[in-house]
Structure 1
Amino acid sequence: MNFRISCLLFALLLAGCSSNPTQPTQSQQSIVNQTDDAVTEARFSQNLNALLGAVSQTQEIPLPTLEIGFLDAKTIPSIRKLVLPPSGTFKKNWMAYRKRFIEPVRLKAGRAFWEQNQAFLSQVEQDSGVPAEIIVAIIGIETIYGRQTGNFRVKDALSTLAFSYPETPNKSARKQLFKDQLKELILMCWTEAGGKLPAKNSSQGVNSARFSACLNQNSSYAGAIGLPQFMPSSIRSFAIDGDDDGQIDLKQSPKDAIASVANFMKKHGWQTGMPISFPVHVSGINAAKALADGEPQVKFTVQELIDQGILTKQQGNLQSGGVEPQSKAFIIDLPYPDKDGHDQVQYVVGLHNFLTIVQYNRSYFYAQSVAEFAEALGYKNQSVVPVESVSKSTAHIKNTGTPSKPKNQAQRRK
């Protein structure tokens, strides 16, 4: 593991010697750094070997195979810096974040990607109920359709964050998350290489070169892979072979990426034909401010928000593109500094589908960017339930107490 002692720790070492009038020489500092590197490297190897041993035992994968696969694993100092929280003077800036993604180059690439995959996107939308615009928007924001998929070896990225996470308030939880993802990576690569789980103490049928290639594939600094930037656990749970070639390739196959994003959204509860969010009515901004608590939980009914002037009556009406009055919602706050540096906030009412996007990336900025990117591609952020369907649904509820099951969004648009 080739990383140098952090500036903070180095400063503490100097402070500890402050009573000594003689400052450490350059050679003494180098010795301290080398010692720290050696200790940290040994700890990294010990923890990694312990994890490999546990996976080998629980999944019956031969330990030598795992050890060979991770023989050259290393920590990446730049990754440790990338996951550090922002400084205390940092201000969240929704407008700057939005500008990074809702911009001409990415939108042009999105339209080209849609045109190239139009037939398949239409089929996936019909099968899953997830709008093509949402799928295209997610892949565009994540990687500009494969242009920016990361340049770190995935085993290095996950190993660094699992065993060498920097000192932060959430260090323990984050380390555990990446340990779990590292385990998922091993299991994913084992099965991709032709192995079965548990392996029954045999590597028969496993392509060792393919196993190694899987561990060494490129990822983001956090270990996300391919066009849609799926973590290993998401690949194992939600990725789909969209092009029916017998394998899932999120790096080279747009169809696999499209089908996998749709499946992720569907499995996380995407409501077909329903909008994502509503703008707050100008007269209800103060009321919205009082209800914005930052918690991603739908806790108010749309009718309650209408009563407080946050939404209009139209937004509680399916026939006018809204939702049912008893639908649940919550308040989203999108802070930014204005041109004079004063704190400002844009408020939005998030619905169930907004939370589904948050499951993809736990950020209000991200989810709102996906929604607005999709709208720039033509997505209509409103219910698409025909009036006759609403009437039939209402009649069905009166007769049986159960709403009738809607058709998928693609069919409703016809």
Structure 2
Amino acid sequence: MGAGWLAKAAVVVCFLLWATTSLAAAEDFSAWVEEFRAEARAAGISAELLDRALADLTPLERVIELDRRQPEFTQTFEEYLARRVTDARVEEGRAMLARYPSWLNKIAEQYGVQPRFIVALWGLESNYGRHTGSFSIIQSLATLAYEGRRGAFFRNELLHALKIVDAGHISLERMTGSWAGAMGQAQFMPSTFSNFAVDGDGDGRIDIWHSIPDVFASAANYLSRHGWRDDQTWGRPVRLPKGFDASLAGLDQRKRLSEWQRLGVRRIDGRSLPTRDLQASLLLPEGVDGPAYLVYDNFRVLLRWNRSNVFAVSVGLLADRLVEP
């Protein structure tokens, strides 16, 4: 036998192995879908919707790839801020404040959340509705529930997503978002939608994909329900004295502003801290020689939205710049 024959035989064997593996995987996924269908019916989701949503459903390889190969976070705190709190985003955010004053003021009064924070979250989550994701939420969540590292979590999100469609808030075809299941201009996960999204424009549906009032009201409701105070800000960048004791930093430690003042902490421009004696924690994301922030209770509410300190600081700094004179 020649080397050419052996090479062809090897190709055939590889193809047969691939075909066998693919067939087994398809059968496994089909079995998973049927098991999930029974669970969804028991949860009250209509058979008609399940027939449409689960028919010919297949895992999305791109979602599996993205889930398994999430890039390692290599940006510094300052680099992250510089890429997100940009002059262009500030300029557009100011334009949005000017474009929607009636809705923003109405929602601010109803939920007790300042308009600048609603707009800042909108800007950071979807660049003011421009980038919301084009993945099918149902297919992405089914893929992650079946194949992903947190199957139980995404299975529950898939149930919520189907309930949202079944309630008539959005069609299957228009329910798109990120590969990980975040939806619409607010980038809510389906369970977050179920618990906090609201009908801001009063049309009987909750549409965080296309209705600006629904986006604003849903974001404000989320913050309000987690304890937001509209008589306070998020915090502020500060300046530390030389030789400051870095062990005083951390969200687990709180001191009144008067105490931080006595310790030599000042506003970033050197002026004294506000006289209102709020409780505040000192955040030193890159150590005592890096940027420093005194953060209040509203900062902790932003952490409920996204558990990243740098995201919460980005929201605060963007919100501040939107209303700078």
Calculate the TM-score normalised by the size of structure 2: 0.84
Distance 1:344 1:245, change over 3 A: same
2:283 is equivalent to residue 332 of structure 1: yes
Aligned to 2:310: 365
1:374 to 315, 319, 324: 319
Describe the superposition over 1:286-319 as per-residue Cα deviations: whole angstroms up to 9, x where unpaired.
523x3556xxx5542236645554567953621x
Instruction: Provide the alpha-carbon RMSD of the alignment.
Output: 3.0
Describe the superposition over 1:98-151 as per-residue Cα deviations: whole angstroms up to 9, x where unpaired.
222212332232222222211211121122221111001111111122211101
Describe the superposition over 1:210-268 as per-residue Cα deviations: whole angstroms up to 9, x where unpaired.
7xx33652111121221111111122221122112222211111111111111111111
2:61 is equivalent to residue 80 of structure 1: no
The amino acid of 2:79's aligned partner reads: A
Percent of aligned pairs sharing the same letter: 26
Structure 1 contact 185–232 (Cα < 8 Å) conserved: yes
| Other structure's SS at 1:330 match | strand
Structure 1 contact 154–216 (Cα < 8 Å) conserved: no
The separation in 2 between residues aligned to 1:310 and 1:359, in whole angstroms, is 27
1:234 to 192, 217, 224: 192
1:47-86, aligned counterparts within 5 Å? 47-59=32-44, 61-63=45-47, 65-84=49-68
Aligned to 1:205: none
Unaligned runs of 5+ in 2: 1-6
Distance 1:332 1:160, change over 3 A: farther
| Other structure's SS at 2:56 match | coil
Paired residue total: 314
| Other structure's SS at 1:75 match | coil
| Other structure's SS at 2:283 match | strand
2:166 to 180, 190, 193: 190
The amino acid of 1:176's aligned partner reads: A
Structure 1 contact 284–308 (Cα < 8 Å) conserved: no
Unaligned runs of 5+ in 1: 1-21, 166-170, 194-209, 337-342, 381-414
Calculate the TM-score normalised by the size of structure 1: 0.67
Aligned to 1:140: 123
1:315 to 273, 277, 283: 273
The separation in 2 between residues aligned to 1:47 and 1:306, in whole angstroms, is 60
1:104-253, aligned counterparts within 5 Å? 104-165=87-148, 171=149, 174-192=150-168, 213-214=171-172, 217-253=175-211
The separation in 2 between residues aligned to 1:70 and 1:29, in whole angstroms, is 31
Describe the superposition over 1:313-343 as per-residue Cα deviations: whole angstroms up to 9, x where unpaired.
953621xxxx43xx2x43434349xxxxxx9
